[in-house]
Structure 1
Amino acid sequence: MEYPVSGSCQCGQVTYRLFKPPIAVAACHCKQCQKLSTSAFSLTAMIDSDAIEIRGEMTEWSRIAESGITSAAKFCPVCANHIYHYNPSNPKHLMLKPSTLSDTSAINPTIHVWVSEKQNWFQIPVGVLTYETQP
């Protein structure tokens, strides 16, 4: 994949350009991510906050995670598509929702977290890192 690569929410009000590859791509199997994705897990691409340029107004929602850390989400106020999550006490890294990329070929999770809460029917590929909870 050549960078920069573009991305957007479903309705196109929020757009962005990602200037370099993700640091890592993870699949999170926690119950909260299952609710967010309405699926078995949610995908996240960790990126440096200075590697992305975002245009468009976003809304924010946050919750306290089981770890005690605040998990904040930025999303489109029109279509409610999540663009990224972040920890306000560590703004250097963002957790981009990679399904919003125009080219999703970079989505290859090599880390699976919260496998203690994963759906029984889902088989994690052999050879990827797994963590019972949050590393």
Structure 2
Amino acid sequence: MPVHHAACSCGQLSAVAQADPGRISICHCLACQRRSGSVFAVQARFPADSVTIQGRSTAYVRVGDEGGRARFHFCPVCGDTVYYTPEAQPDAVAIPVGAFADPSFPPRHVSVYEERMHPWVGLPADIEHHP
């Protein structure tokens, strides 16, 4: 059984996923750009019953570009987002791939909201591309 450990910068908030991710996606939506502080965000989705959370979090409900809502949980000490729960997928927990700090983490499957992708970003052709 694979085990993936994610944590915030200070280590106070962590998530352990005891499963392979069902989906790993790159999102170029404006909400993810703001949330991540980068030109896109990469996240892995796991079955909720495979994820154990430890530590305190502060939550913020973010509304995405198309109106979907997700509850983002971040560390009240260092501010890093460690996980979120999409309202439309109550049985899933999404974890930003950077929170794993693991260069061997599995690669992405899909790229979404590409109409908002910065023109200088290049992505592999072997993944699903969605405007």
TM-score (norm: length of structure 2): 0.90
Moved more, 86-95 or 9-18: 86-95
Give the AA of the match of 2:70.
Answer: S
Is 1:86 aligned with 2:85? yes
CA change 1:64–1:31 in 2 (3 A) is: closer
Deviation string, structure 1 residues 11-54 (Cα, Å, up to 9, x no partner):
01012221011001100011111112221200110111111111
State the 1:69 CA deviation.
2.3
Deviation string, structure 1 residues 78-132 (Cα, Å, up to 9, x no partner):
1111011222353201111121115341241120000000000011211110111
Match of 1:14 in 2: 13
Matches of residues 89-104 of structure 1 in structure 2 within 5 Å? 89-104=88-103
Distance in 1 (alpha carbons) for counterparts of 2:111 and 2:91: 22
- Partner of 1:122, secondary structure, is coil
- Partner of 1:106, secondary structure, is coil
Match of 1:42 in 2: 41
Moved more, 3-12 or 113-122: 3-12
- Partner of 2:35, secondary structure, is helix
Unpaired stretches in structure 2, ≥5 consecutive residues: none
1:98/1:107 contact within 8 Å kept? no
Give the AA of the match of 2:108.
Answer: P
Is 1:72 aligned with 2:71? yes
- Partner of 2:104, secondary structure, is helix
Identity %: 24
2:31/2:64 contact within 8 Å kept? no
- Partner of 1:57, secondary structure, is coil
TM-score (norm: length of structure 1): 0.88
Unpaired stretches in structure 1, ≥5 consecutive residues: none
CA RMSD of aligned residues (A): 1.6
Match of 1:126 in 2: 125
1:98/1:104 contact within 8 Å kept? no
CA change 1:94–1:43 in 2 (3 A) is: same
Distance in 1 (alpha carbons) for counterparts of 2:46 and 2:40: 19
